[in-house]
Amino acid sequence: MESLPLNLLLSFFNIPPLWKECLSSAFRTALACTIVAMVTLYGPISITSLITFPAFSYVVVILIIINDATLGDALRGCWLGLYATIQSLGPAMLSLWAIGPNRLSKGTASIAVALAAFVVVLPSAQSTHLIAKRISLGQIVLVYVVAYANGVHIDTFMHPIHLAASTALGVFACVVALLLPYPRFACYQVILSFLFMLCF
């Protein structure tokens, strides 16, 4: 009767490998979301004043750490986030400057979103990665919808910069979350899957 709690405890730590992978991915996603929350709530004023879209930081975290991401996936996500930001926010700055946020109507905002989304999703031989497309489309919608909603109060230069800072926070949180408590390398995952195949 006394060995029942010990057996229960040992069976608790005898988790199947697939569950370990899922729990590890969930832990790292939760850690990245916690990093975003801590920076946006308790970070220095110079950083928190730039991050006006913390919800988009969470979206970027979820997009990059989608399932069993490794450190290499997070570093690739950094470059994809940078590419998406250049692809969407550069033209958005120019169009907001040319149109002017106070003259942005429903029609002009809809046309601007449609044209920018068409350029991002346009199929070509050198197609953009799916993660970069998702980040770009989210940035495009946020830039134009918030510019339409706030109108005169939007700065044409700083509004896209705030969105870029929120994207950068999400990317930074992904890299840090995949480094802690130990880095998750793809080569380690290959060795584990090879050993798992040998055992079964």
Q: What is the pLDDT of residues 71-82, one digit of tens each?
A: 888 888 899 999
The reported pLDDT for the residue numbered 51 is 92
- pTM score, whole prediction: 0.82
Answer whether residue 167 is part of any domain: yes
Q: Which of 23, 22, 26 is nearest to 62 (CA)?
A: 26
- For 157-195, what is each residue's pLDDT tens digit? 888 999 999 999 999 999 999 888 777 676 766 776 777
Domain count, the chain: 1
pLDDT at 10: 46
Given a contact cutoff of 8 angstroms between Cβ atoms, the answer to whether 154 and 97 are in contact is: no
Provide the residue range defining the domain that includes 66. Answer: 54-177
Q: What is the 3-state secondary structure (H, E, C) of the chain?
A: CCHHHHHHHHHHHCCCHHHHHHHHHHHHHHHHHHHHHHHHHHCCHHHHCCCCCHHHHHHHHHHHCCCCCCHHHHHHHHHHHHHHHHHHHHHHHHHHHHHCHHHCCHHHHHHHHHHHHHHHHCCCCCCCCHHHHHHHHHHHHHHHHHHHHHHHHCCCCHHHHHHHHHHHHHHHHHHHHHHCCCCCCHHHHHHHHHHHHHHC
Spatial separation of the C-alpha atoms in residues 93 and 29, rounded to whole Å: 31
Residue 154 inside a domain? The answer is yes
- Tens of pLDDT along 16-48? 766 777 777 888 889 999 999 999 999 999 999
User: Is the residue at 75 inside a domain?
Assistant: yes
Residue 14 lies in a domain: no
CA 86 vs. chain centroid, Å, equals 15
Kindly state whether residue 48 falls inside one of the protein's structural domains.
no
pLDDT in tens, 82-139: 999 999 998 888 888 888 878 888 898 899 999 999 988 886 657 778 888 999 999 9
| pLDDT at 61 exceeding the cut of 90 | yes
Report whether pLDDT(68) > 60: yes
CB distance 184 to 72 below 8 Å: no
Classify residue 144: in a domain, yes or no: yes
Which pLDDT does position 6 carry in this prediction?
Answer: 47
Residue 1: pLDDT band by 50, 70, 90 thresholds?
Answer: very low
Structure confidence at residue 56 (pLDDT)? 94
For residue 195, being part of any structural domain is answered with no
| Residue 7 counted as domain residue | no
